[in-house]
Structure 1
Amino acid sequence: MDQPTKDRISKLHPSVRAEITQIIKECDTALTGRAKVRITQGMRTFQEQDQLYAIGRTKPGKKVTNAKAGQSIHNYGLAVDICLIIDGKIASWDTAKDWDNDQVADWYECVKIFAKYGWDWGGNWKTFKDLPHFEKKGYKWRNLIQMKRDESGYVILK
């Protein structure tokens, strides 16, 4: 597991840090070839969310999210976006490539591992598919936004 991934895990909601560490380790073990998983995005502030929401609306570019501040599970540290790092240097979001030649696309090997731990994949969404995105099942932003927070700013999960 690379340092950027470790750094991003350390900022996720405390309740998922150990689990996501295990998920990434299992993905990296399953990807016996040239690919390793990197978390490209974890916890996202409300301000960062609003900046992303503006892209394609009030800022140039193609829309990257339909979620305003508070409406993304990233805002609560319960979601990650990933890419595959090939040969330790090149970022890939190719969902079809089988870097380890085991007849299963490396991306889908990871999708299965995340699912085993109860994480939803954005590639399964009916609208606005988000292939790099995984979020912990069972949490809805409408509930999270109303929850109390601890002294570190994380929502207190029941």
Structure 2
Amino acid sequence: MDKVTLERIEKLHPLVREEVKEIIKECDEALTGPAKVRITQGLRSFEEQEKLYAIGRITNGKKVTNAKAGQSIHNYGLAVDICLIINQKTASWDTAKDWDNDQVADWYECVKIFARHGWDWGGNWKTFKDMPHFEKKNISTGKGLIKTSWRTLIKMKRDREGYVIL
């Protein structure tokens, strides 16, 4: 696991950090060729979200999100975007390439691992597919299983560090 990925994991919600480390470890072990997983985005501030939402609406460019500030699971540290790093230097978002020649696209090997851990994949969305995106919607806490959505999360109290209290 590379330094950038570890730094981004440490900013995620404390309840998912260890799980994400395990997922990335499993992905990297499954990918026996030159591809390894890098988290390109984890926790995103409301301000960053507003800037992304403005792209294609207020500023030039193609729309990159339909989520306003507070409407993205990234805003709560419960989502990650990934890419594959090839030979420790080149980023790839190619979902079809089989870098390790095991007859399964490396991207889909990772999709399966995230799914095993209960993470939803943006590639399964019916509209506005988001191939690099994974989010944790069901979180097991001492209070039981919490089904999270931005509508629920935005109303929740936060701790001293700014994370929602689950």
- TM bin, normalised by shorter chain, reads over 0.9
For 2:29 and 2:69, how far apart are their aligned partners in 1?
A: 35
Give structure 1 stretches of 5+ with no counterpart: none
Q: Percent identity?
A: 79
Give the equivalent residue in structure 1 for 2:105: 105
Q: How many Å apart are 1:137 and its aligned residue?
A: 2.2
**Cα offsets for 1:1-49 (capped at 9, x unmatched):** 0000000000000000000000000000000001000000000000000
TM-score, with length taken from structure 1 = 0.99
User: Which structure 2 residues correspond to residues 14-25 of structure 1 after superposition, within 5 A?
Assistant: 14-25=14-25
TM-score, with length taken from structure 2 = 0.94
Give the equivalent residue in structure 1 for 2:118: 118
Give structure 2 stretches of 5+ with no counterpart: 139-147
The aligned amino acid for 1:59 is: T
Give the equivalent residue in structure 1 for 2:34: 34
For 2:17 and 2:47, how far apart are their aligned partners in 1?
A: 23
**Cα offsets for 1:98-132 (capped at 9, x unmatched):** 00000000000000000000000000000000000
For 2:161 and 2:55, how far apart are their aligned partners in 1?
A: 29
For 1:7 and 1:84, how far apart are their aligned partners in 2?
A: 17
For 1:137 and 1:31, how far apart are their aligned partners in 2?
A: 26
Root-mean-square deviation over aligned CA pairs: 0.4
For 2:64 and 2:137, how far apart are their aligned partners in 1?
A: 22
Q: Determine which structure has the larger strand proportion and give its number.
A: 2
